[in-house]
Structure 1
């Protein structure tokens, strides 16, 4: 497994609650950031590694991409030497009337999606944690749901899902492959750094879709007929600590951008969040216009895993590894950041991922996004995968 792909897979499969104190490791927030303590409502809990969220206003619904909890179909070795179990436990969950819902259990309308999760338990890292698989979901109506499956570099029992953009319907076992994102990367290598693929996020876009290939460092455009083209290729980040790095190797100076999340506005502008190779403070959110050209960049984030837009022009950003202001456990990281009129507000969210904002500025965010339904086993605390609702 290459260094670039390792950025997402290792980041999700090994952080958990183990090892060093992440809050100390990842330094301080940008100078303009203000920490705020916001009350939240748990909309749904006991999810399996919840990732991207998508609101479907026409059906007053919220869709949740669950990366699953792995399984026993096959076993692969993750970048840190741990075992990942492969299975078909990925799913898409539905919440109706999300602005008023609370305390729900998962209502899974799509199941049987490919997933890889921790095959062995470790302290604070239960079986099924840090899963990757069905990480992205997009729909403009519930009758047609797009799911993005990541790529597993192994001989797997379901190659019709591996690395592909799928189209399906609620309660239907059939998943139609719209486009093989990984095959496009293998044939074209848009960033010129060698084959590496980890399709991670998808959004509906102008009659088709945009897909972020995290390891490929690009956003690809997919038509309704499955034609794939390049929308934008991200160069390496060469600021701060990234200036002295090479990624994936020499002569490629800097940190790979690693796009993980996207949102689009009504003008066709696309906002893309990147991990910047998990380098502290080097994560970015980039605004692209409808032609795929960069028009603005926000700096100073730590591992961006979710981006959403508010009607007032706010940009909401999940930072998986940003230090919390009031951590109840010093090894738990993560904040949700609102960027508005040049200022930033941070509120603590444990290991946040996907973000969505409705027309009333209710903000939905995946919390405990690296945990399966059983959680991490912390006494007295529900650490299962969840979706929170809050309001800045």
Structure 2
């Protein structure tokens, strides 16, 4: 069942607060610790309440072959190098619970396992690709899980569920090009919601594998030119609605990324803006939104410093973390209030990724 909705009063407070722009003081009473290292291109993460642990996706390092042209014609090469790592806070134990998952590398990035959800009795995952059907076909049968949602069984094996690439090929809701590169996932009764960064849309995948579009995020005009939305995650908020982060098109536009609110059956609306390259969202125990930026100065900058911002109920913004964040990629909140983040998420397959823990002060 879906988590019970908060009261209407709290829902109104959350929404009104998000719509208010304010200054950005820094939180002084926080501590950022490295709790796991040697991760290979970590991306999204989630709290697994059933097992009391954090689950971290590792997109992997691709492989040497086979290779096929991806988006833009750049060669993409396949390898079964993706994984899922668990971290148990009480014992500090880390272990890979799934390995050999599909991964692809091109000269710019690694794509593969991008997000994970451990709610509603299953471990649900979503894979990106950054390509077309000819790309996946050219990578061989082992690459079938790319550009799909899936379920990870108790044996650590992947069972593909919903073919996002096939939907993109048939419908191509955003007409710029055919590009399947899903990035975020949220489990709901009977299926999963997917933030499709390549298609600029939100998709619903039923447990039977049927795919349909829930919403298409429109471009915005920046300096006279259209800029794609590029949704990177979708999370359920304390008011029962879903919130969608926006990375924005290339080149990076400083301060132009928006946060959308989606009520199923209605058109999504922008509730706050002024961010740069938002890569993930979460809500803390007090119902405040946590906004994670991949790079505060933009991905095009040589400065890889990211930023975690908390949006207070009155709309003020508090910077929870900046120093030590190097192209972070995911954020999740544990029941005790600890915040977990993946770090160093854009390497080309080096085993230098980290899982960080932030313990906010009392506020």
TM-score, normalised with respect to structure 2: 0.81
Matches of 1:333 and 1:202 in 2, distance apart?
Answer: 25
Contact (CA 8 Å) 1:289, 1:295: kept in 2 or not?
Answer: no
Q: Tell me how many residue pairs correspond in the alignment.
A: 325
Contact (CA 8 Å) 1:318, 1:334: kept in 2 or not?
Answer: yes
| Stretch deviating more after TM superposition (229-238 or 287-296) | 287-296
Q: Which residue of 2 aligns with 1:32?
A: 23
TM-fit CA distance, 1:56: 1.6
TM-fit CA distance, 1:44: 1.1
Contact (CA 8 Å) 1:262, 1:308: kept in 2 or not?
Answer: no
Q: 1:215 aligns with which of 190, 198, 203?
A: 198
Q: Which residue of 2 aligns with 1:322?
A: 296
Asked if 1:303 is matched to 2:271, the reply is no
Which stretches in structure 1 are left out of the alignment for 5+ residues? 1-29, 120-128, 246-253, 376-383
TM-fit CA distance, 1:323: 4.0
Matches of 1:80 and 1:36 in 2, distance apart?
Answer: 42
Matches of 1:177 and 1:314 in 2, distance apart?
Answer: 34
Q: Deviations over 1:223-281 (max 9, x none)?
A: 1111212211101122xxx2422xxxxxxxx2110001121135531111111113221
Asked if 1:146 is matched to 2:120, the reply is no
TM-fit CA distance, 1:31: 6.2
Matches of 2:74 and 2:23 in 1, distance apart?
Answer: 39
Q: 1:69 aligns with which of 23, 38, 61?
A: 61
Q: Which residue of 2 aligns with 1:191?
A: 174
Matches of 1:167 and 1:264 in 2, distance apart?
Answer: 20
Q: Which residue of 2 aligns with 1:160?
A: 144
User: 1:239-258 to 2 correspondence within 5 Å?
Assistant: 242-245=222-225, 254-258=226-230
Contact (CA 8 Å) 1:213, 1:260: kept in 2 or not?
Answer: yes
TM-score, normalised with respect to structure 1: 0.75
Q: Which residue of 2 aligns with 1:362?
A: 338
CA pair 373-236 structure 1, distance change in 2 beyond 3 A: closer
Which stretches in structure 2 are left out of the alignment for 5+ residues? 1-20
Indicate the SS of the match to 1:276.
coil
Matches of 1:171 and 1:95 in 2, distance apart?
Answer: 18
Asked if 1:268 is matched to 2:232, the reply is no
Matches of 1:213 and 1:202 in 2, distance apart?
Answer: 9
Asked if 1:57 is matched to 2:73, the reply is no
Matches of 1:367 and 1:293 in 2, distance apart?
Answer: 33
